[in-house]
């Protein structure tokens, strides 16, 4: 990219800008100078982007699935604290650019996020950055459902030395030259706990969707709540601290300190002063976690794994065998098992909203899949479901392997059963397992032809 040259090169610059910062559909924000933002259903066109870069309008976009940029929206930090905030995350002029926003005293800090040498998904990006945003009092973009003002408009001035007078094409050039920012390199934050009693009173549906790690983090930060028993609260907190990499003695001492300061009067034993009994429970629970659970992962990977879920390599063949070669059902069970792993550490029964089950079935009708799993005695369904009040409670009858590593491809849980199975096992081994389980030879024959002909177990229509 060469500054101030032909129309053809300008067009190329605009194309590059749109690929980096613009999610064209399904909606965007638009604002005229001095007016309020309004939302528009439709596509962000090249003309709209040029209007933004020329200063006629301000345009805001949703985030792409694999964002090529990260932005920290700073509006509650004094001007002399912006540099400190930037440095606290490991950001500086060689891997980020600092801009003023339209409002006085507001700033946008742009950087190029990478995770394991490639752009993260928007969900992984938010999962890793959100805790830092909360502690630092800022917002992090892009987001899946909230728009963010596109960069490099004339009312957004770069304040980095040597970049103050650059136009949008020059800013784009230097942004593209920034060093990638490795999300795994963010310094660990200090633990804080200053949220008032009662803040954890969430409804059952919201609570059920939290992973054990997320529930532990919430309890550790906010303290016990009336709806969660003391022993279960302790278990969640112990698991959370263990996943953070603490040793057994550290788990015990920190959890004892936590329960003493954050029980909020919700424990009968504590209210009666039975601290010896409470301490013995914590020590027993810590020993169980230390001896029985799978090895800890790095914090960044852990966040992604707990959000997405996982299976082990051995689970993949079991899924195909236990569904008797029913491929559509195997796909559904893979997503269900992946979801259940991080949510069944302390309770085999998990409440799952119908929207989540519909997503797992890819719109193919989850009730039929649940009926088939019920017939195969792979699930038990709870009796407490009430429309719009309580989610469906399911128990997956499965031998969860919490000592083996999750099966990952390039550091991530495979999105589809197809990808996971064929990366984990050669075709011949898959077929041998099916024969050994007494699967109908016609089913095996169909699978073999599909594997040899297409290089995959089944068409990718239900991922």
Q: List the CATH number of the domain containing 94.
A: 3.90.920
Domain C-terminal end among 185, 220, 250:
185
pTM: 0.45
Residues 388, 421 within the same domain: yes
Check residue 374 and give its pLDDT.
92
Co-location of 277 and 375 in the same domain: no
CA dist., res. 171 & res. 173, Å (int) = 5
**Which is higher by pLDDT, 132 or 231?**
231
Question: Residues 262, 344: one domain?
Answer: no
Q: Work out how many domains the chain is built from and give that number.
A: 3
CA distance 427 to 335: 22
410 alpha-carbon distance from chain centroid: 16
Report percent pLDDT > 90 for the chain: 37
- Please state whether the peptide bond connecting residue 26 to the residue before it is cis, i.e. omega within 30 degrees of 0: yes
Per DSSP, the three-state class of 293 is coil
> Do 426 and 391 meet the contact criterion of CB atoms below 8 Å apart?
no
Q: For 105-142, what is each residue's pLDDT tens digit?
A: 889 999 999 988 888 999 889 888 887 787 777 899 99
Q: What is the pLDDT of residue 268?
A: 86
Q: Are 278 and 376 in a shared domain? A: no
Q: Does the structure show a pLDDT above 80 at 145? A: yes
Residue 244: give the domain boundaries: 204-293
H/E run at residue 421: helix 417-424
* 38 and 110 fall within a common domain: yes
Same-domain check for residues 330 and 383: yes
Same domain, 59 and 178: yes
Q: 185, 217, 252: which is the final residue of a domain?
A: 185
Whether the pLDDT of residue 387 is over 50: the answer is no
Interatomic CA distance for residues 439 and 346, integer angstroms: 34
- Let me know whether 350 and 443 are in one domain: yes
Question: Could you tell me if residue 303 is inside a domain?
Answer: no
Q: Whose CA is closest to 413, among 317, 342, 362?
A: 342
Alpha carbons 13 and 252: distance in angstroms, whole number? 57
- Tell me, yes or no, whether 460 lies in a domain: no
């Amino acid at each position: 990219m060469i500054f101030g040259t032909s129309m053809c090169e300008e067009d190329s610059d605009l194309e590059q800008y749109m690929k980096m910062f613009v999610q064209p559909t399904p909606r965007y924000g638009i604002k005229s100078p001095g007016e309020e933002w309004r939302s528009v259903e439709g596509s962000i066109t090249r003309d709209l982007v040029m209007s933004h870069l020329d200063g006629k309008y301000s345009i805001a976009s949703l985030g792409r699935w694999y964002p090529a940029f990260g932005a920290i929206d700073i509006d509650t930090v004094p001007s002399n604290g912006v540099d400190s905030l930037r440095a606290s995350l490991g950001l500086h002029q060689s891997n980020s650019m600092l801009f003023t926003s339209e409002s006085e005293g507001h700033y946008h800090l742009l950087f190029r996020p990478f995770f394991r040498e490639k752009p993260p998904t928007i969900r992984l990006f938010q999962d890793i950055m959100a805790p830092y945003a909360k502690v630092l009092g800022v917002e992090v973009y892009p987001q899946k459902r909230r728009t963010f003002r596109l960069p490099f408009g004339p009312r957004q001035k770069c304040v980095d030395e040597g970049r103050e007078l650059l136009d949008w094409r020059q800013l784009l050039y230097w942004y593209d030259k920034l060093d990638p920012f490795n999300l795994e390199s963010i310094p660990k934050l200090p633990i804080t706990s200053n949220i008032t009693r009662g803040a954890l009173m969430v409804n059952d549906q919201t609570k059920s969707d939290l992973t054990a790690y997320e529930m532990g983090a919430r309890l550790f930060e906010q303290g016990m709540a009336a709806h969660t028993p003391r022993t279960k609260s302790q278990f969640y907190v112990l698991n959370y601290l263990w996943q953070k990499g603490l040793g057994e003695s550290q788990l015990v001492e920190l959890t004892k300190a936590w329960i003493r300061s954050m029980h909020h009067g919700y424990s009968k034993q504590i209210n009666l002063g039975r601290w010896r009994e409470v301490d013995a429970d914590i020590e027993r629970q810590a020993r169980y976690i230390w001896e029985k659970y799978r090895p800890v992962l790095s914090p960044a990977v852990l966040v992604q794994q707990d959000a997405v879920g996982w299976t082990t390599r051995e689970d993949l063949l079991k899924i195909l065998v236990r569904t008797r070669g029913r491929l559509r059902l195997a796909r559904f069970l893979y997503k269900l098992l992946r979801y259940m792993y991080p949510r069944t550490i302390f309770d085999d029964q998990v409440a799952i909203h119908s929207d989540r089950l519909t997503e797992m079935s890819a719109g193919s009708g989850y009730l039929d899949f649940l009926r088939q799993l019920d017939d195969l005695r792979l699930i038990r369904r709870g009796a407490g479901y009430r429309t719009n009040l309580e989610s469906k409670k399911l128990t997956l009858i499965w031998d969860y392997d919490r000592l083996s590593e999750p099966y990952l491809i390039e550091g991530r849980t495979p999105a589809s059963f197809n990808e996971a199975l064929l990366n984990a096992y050669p075709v011949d081994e898959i077929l041998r397992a099916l024969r050994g389980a007494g699967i109908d030879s016609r089913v095996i024959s169909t699978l073999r032809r599909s594997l040899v002909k297409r290089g995959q177990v089944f068409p990718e229509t239900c991922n």
